[in-house]
Amino acid sequence: MSVSVNLSNFYPFYAQEKMDALAGELAGAHDALLEGTRAGNDFLGWVKLPVDYDKDEFERILAAAAKIKEDSDVLVVIGIGGSYLGARAGIEFCVSPNFNMIDRKGYPQVFFLGNHISGETVNEVISLIGDRDFSINVISKSGTTTEPAIAFRVMKDLLIKKYGDKANDRIYATTDRARGALKSQATACGYESFIVPDNVGGRFSVLSAVGLLPLAAAGVDIKAMMQGAADAMEAITADKSMSNPAWAYAAARSVAYREGKAVEILGCYEPRFHTVSEWWKQLYGESEGKDLKGLMPASLDLTTDLHSMGQFVQDGTRIMIETIMTIEKPTSTVVIEKAEDDGDGLNYLAGATMDYVNKQAQAGTALAHVDGGVPNIKLSIPDSSAYSFGQMVYFFEFAVGLSGYLLDINPFNQPGVEAYKKNMFALLGKPGYEELRAELMKKM
């Protein structure tokens, strides 16, 4: 297991004994995740997903990715929430945040749509595609979620205009096994289909077809990713002790929450982590933010945001803990050369790498924030490989399962997400929402 947790900058605020005192609760939560004995147990498919998945479907995903590479310059991935963030996080982390601009070595560009209702953005993506060849991966369990449904209707029309009868060969539907609007369309039109497992919630679905097809299409080594997740699963599920990194992380954030902290900030010193933080926000915010409970997830890109949010973290309202992910080995670095004039005063760094400076900034910042009253959790992973990404995904998933059970909520539902949808349907005049519409109109 190569994800590690270091609490040395956390203990000055919360003694190790406080975390250790949660061992009994953690053991109970751990067993409940493995045995399915608590709330949300119909959504525990993610626990064994790294080994217990459809191997034939996995091969079909690789074949589909190869076909897309062959026949498309662009893949449009349509999905929202868990049908978007995991794939995007993996592509940015393993390939680059600039994945659509760098030399893609023959892999298609990937544009994400259906994660908003911005018409101008849809038009911009259409113009970015231009007259190039493209395919669509539409990801929706139901097929009726408004954002992806609109984007799919628009992009499918475009595909049909361009390819006529052959358009259906360029649509890949990741959806329910048997039911729903998208499944019906896929069957009727003969789209190649992949499955959103029934027992895996959206925010836990990056290791299913939901994440796998976009990741593979963008050139991420999904075999290595699944191996990383499987190795993490083996290590994490077997270790019922505080040396289990998922236990340590869950314990630390649980203690901080119980003792009054309100916000957890996740940060990293490499830009490629940015969307991993966004994925993590959904994973933690949607799993824990219910029944008026939970640490609110927020994120920072570092050192960038030390020159924006840094002041607040250092000296503002004391409501937060901070969790910093270290990527031990960057994909490359830059040696700082000696300058003849030393006009910028950097010659004391001559011969050092930027990575060395970055790591010292990280260490210095952690100490400064500790001095400022911010408990720090240090996470680390060896590199930004697909294998490490798989490990990290499993680590964060298992830890939120533990942490959610310690919060005494169901970490695997998201009842609050419906509220805005109902109001939106009512305001849009969707049949069946007449009563709510009348009610809302009075409020407006």
- Exactly one of 167, 251, 313, 392 binds a copy of itself (CB under 8 A); which one? 313
Element (H, E) at 378: strand 376-381
E-state strands within 238-329: 263-268, 296-301, 320-327
* Separation CA 387–CA 93 (nearest Å): 11
Site for a copy of itself contains 260 (CB under 8 A) = no
Residue 74 structure tokens? 């662009």
Full strand arrangement of the beta sheet holding 376-381 = 4-6, 376-381, 320-327, 263-268, 296-301
Annotated catalytic residue 286: yes
Closer Cβ to a copy of itself, 178 or 317, answer by number: 317
Smallest gap from residue 63 Cβ to a copy of itself (A) = 26
Site for a copy of itself contains 346 (CB under 8 A) = yes
Print the SS3 string covering 121-176: HHHHHHHHHCCCCEEEEEECCCCCCHHHHHHHHHHHHHHHHHHHHHHHHHEEEEEC
Site for a copy of itself contains 306 (CB under 8 A) = yes
- Exactly one of 360, 408, 434, 438 binds a copy of itself (CB under 8 A); which one? 360
Annotated catalytic residue 116: no
Q: Kindly identify the residues of this chain, within the stretch 264-293, that bind a copy of itself according to CB under 8 A.
A: 269-272, 278, 281-282, 285-286, 288-293
Q: Kindly identify the residues of this chain, within the stretch 38-97, that bind a copy of itself according to CB under 8 A.
A: 80-82, 84-85, 96
Smallest gap from residue 237 Cβ to a copy of itself (A) = 26
Site for a copy of itself contains 332 (CB under 8 A) = yes
Burial grade of 402 (CB within 10 A; 0-12, 13-18, 19 or more): buried
Site for a copy of itself contains 302 (CB under 8 A) = yes
Residue 101 structure tokens? 């601009």
Smallest gap from residue 261 Cβ to a copy of itself (A) = 10
Q: Kindly identify the residues of this chain, within the stretch 140-199, that bind a copy of itself according to CB under 8 A.
A: 143-144, 146-147, 149-150, 152-154, 157, 181-182, 184-185, 188
Q: Which member of 192, 264, 286, 397 is catalytic?
A: 286
Site for a copy of itself contains 311 (CB under 8 A) = yes
Closer Cβ to a copy of itself, 52 or 315, answer by number: 315
* Separation CA 145–CA 134 (nearest Å): 23
Question: Which region, judged by CB under 8 A, interacts with a copy of itself, from 33-41, 52-60, 61-69, 413-421?
Answer: 413-421
Question: Which region, judged by CB under 8 A, interacts with a copy of itself, from 13-21, 165-173, 204-212, 368-376?
Answer: 368-376
Backbone CA torsion sign across 153, 157, 159, 165: positive
Smallest gap from residue 62 Cβ to a copy of itself (A) = 27
Question: Do the Cβ atoms of 217 and 69 come closer than 8 Å?
Answer: yes
DSSP 187-230: HHHT-EEEE--TTS-GGG-TTSHHHHHHHHHTT--HHHHHHHHH
Question: Which region, judged by CB under 8 A, interacts with a copy of itself, from 37-45, 61-69, 246-254, 346-354?
Answer: 346-354
Site for a copy of itself contains 16 (CB under 8 A) = no
Closer Cβ to a copy of itself, 199 or 353, answer by number: 353
**Residue 109 amino acid letter:** Q
Annotated catalytic residue 105: no
- Exactly one of 56, 317, 340, 435 binds a copy of itself (CB under 8 A); which one? 317
* Separation CA 226–CA 246 (nearest Å): 18
Closer Cβ to a copy of itself, 195 or 313, answer by number: 313
Per DSSP, the three-state class of 346 is coil
* Separation CA 369–CA 405 (nearest Å): 29
Would you name the residues annotated as active-site residues? 286, 307, 421
